Amino acid sequence: MQCLIIAAGKGHRLRSKGDSKPIIPIFGIPLIERVIRCAQEGGVDDFFVVTGYQGERVRVFLHHLADRLGIRITPIVNEDWEKENGLSVLKARDCLREPFLLLMADHLFDPSIVRKLIELPLADGEIALGVDGNRSNPLIDLEDVTRVKTEGGKIRDIGKNLKDYNGFDTGLFVCTPAIFDALERCEKETGDTSLSGAVRGLASSGRANAVDINGHFWIDVDDPEAFRRAENALLDHLRGKTHDGPVARFLNRPLSIRISRQLVNYSITPNQISLISFLFSMLAAGLFSLGGYPALFWGGVLAQFASVIDGCDGEVARLKFQTSDYGKWLDAVLDRYADAFLLFGLTWHAYVDRTEGLVLFVGFLAIIGSFLLSYTADKYDHLMGRQIRQGIGLRLGRDIRVFIIFLGAVLHLPFWTLLVIAVTMNLETIRRLVICRDHG
């Protein structure tokens, strides 16, 4: 699927963030790069970008981005960039002869919207617009948004000053080349060169479809306030992962997101964050092995802090589009090593206090139970995902295990901490085995 992106405007309301709006970074990633990457995730493989204001600077960035991502990005120059956006669309007429996606360089969105638009069966001569029917969407600037009146899946009217409306223009279209004819006709008949004018023309003949995107993230980043809302929305997107346990969801994640918000401004990579988290766990294990309550206390604090940092690698990876299968695997491997050292250090601390063989046996069961719980996680999470999302199930994972270690260390109860972990981890593993057996 081909994609046309409009990036020609001056964006004067966002000048406080940068001189060239398309390449203003949000969490270290320029706006237009976020648009391109999200469209790519949605299924687009060929890009055309209309440039205007500071066009050379934008085109240089796009050239390097194309090399970096290994994709084709064709720049199109619009010398009349100060005029309405419909003229920017018309500049691409000779490049696009098949249905294509039409996006704005300053509209961020969930890739699922692109997939929904691409999968839409579109008749010859039609277009479709993603319409947000949530009139209470807190991300929308009601004073600037383009409003839409829809009925029966069709657009009946569109414009910024509509009084009778039931949705908002997201700026995400899928178009046939008929959009070019509509733009030329609108300019000739009314002098209107806006994209909305062409959509109104197509709507009058029943050729403008409305695609409901209610519940999916999108935002027009048009001024500093919208920029702030976009940042918060991207951070909120990191919350509520399906595989988060209760400690991760309610304690670790709120803290890690605050840390990640700062880390994205630096060149540190997600894999480096994973290693830093691991080193904190190793330091905590070393403190456990020293003996004495102060070392035990600070070891517990460091273990919990490492658990918080452990969430930052994935958050930074998602915010900066740096996710990778290797990164996920490295994080999982380092977590297993960290768990082993933490539990061994705690076992050694408890053994020095009691010098009983029972301590070593319980410590061994705690380590084995923790490893088996992690080993069975993938199969269990696959089967129990729906129950967890509905709040029926509870994921007993690493976040709870490390939090128990933290509490046990702070309360000076190393042996009882090991005993609780040994019992709960092994019982949970047995429970998972039964669940997996019952589900084939």
Domain boundary among 223, 250, 271: 223
Residue 156 and residue 181 in one domain: yes
Residue 380 confidence (pLDDT): 72
Residue 256 and residue 206 in one domain: no
Domain count of the chain? 2
Domain CATH for 42: 3.90.550.10
Residue 232 lies in a domain: no
Cα 129-134-138 angle, rounded to 5 deg: 110
Residue 286 and residue 427 in one domain: yes
Residue 342 and residue 375 in one domain: yes
C-alpha to C-alpha distance for 359 and 367, rounded to whole angstroms = 12
Residue 231 lies in a domain: no
Residue 95 and residue 198 in one domain: yes
Residue 174 and residue 311 in one domain: no
Domain CATH for 363: 1.20.120.1760
Domain boundary among 223, 256, 290: 223
Residue 104 and residue 251 in one domain: no
Residue 74 confidence (pLDDT): 97
Residue 169 and residue 244 in one domain: no
Residue 229 lies in a domain: no
Domain boundary among 223, 253, 269: 223
Residue 194 and residue 88 in one domain: yes
Residue 76 lies in a domain: yes
Residue 147 lies in a domain: yes
Residue 24 and residue 112 in one domain: yes
Task: Give me the domain span that covers residue 15.
Answer: 2-223
Residue 204 and residue 278 in one domain: no
- pLDDT truncated to tens, each residue of the chain (440 aa)? 999 999 999 988 999 999 999 999 999 999 999 999 999 999 999 999 999 999 999 999 999 999 999 999 999 999 999 999 999 999 999 999 899 999 999 999 999 999 999 999 999 999 999 999 999 999 999 999 999 999 999 999 999 999 999 999 999 999 999 999 999 999 999 999 999 999 999 999 999 999 999 889 999 999 999 999 999 999 998 886 656 788 998 999 999 999 999 999 999 999 999 999 999 999 999 999 998 999 999 999 999 999 999 999 999 999 999 999 999 999 999 999 999 999 999 999 999 988 889 999 999 999 999 999 988 886 676 666 555 444 445 667 899 999 999 999 999 999 999 999 999 999 999 988 887 777 65
Residue 363 confidence (pLDDT): 97
Task: Identify the CA nearest to 420 among candidates 362, 353, 351.
Answer: 362
Residue 97 lies in a domain: yes
Residue 213 lies in a domain: yes
Contact 127, 207 (CB under 8 A): yes
Residue 20 and residue 169 in one domain: yes
C-alpha to C-alpha distance for 238 and 257, rounded to whole angstroms = 8
Residue 228 lies in a domain: no
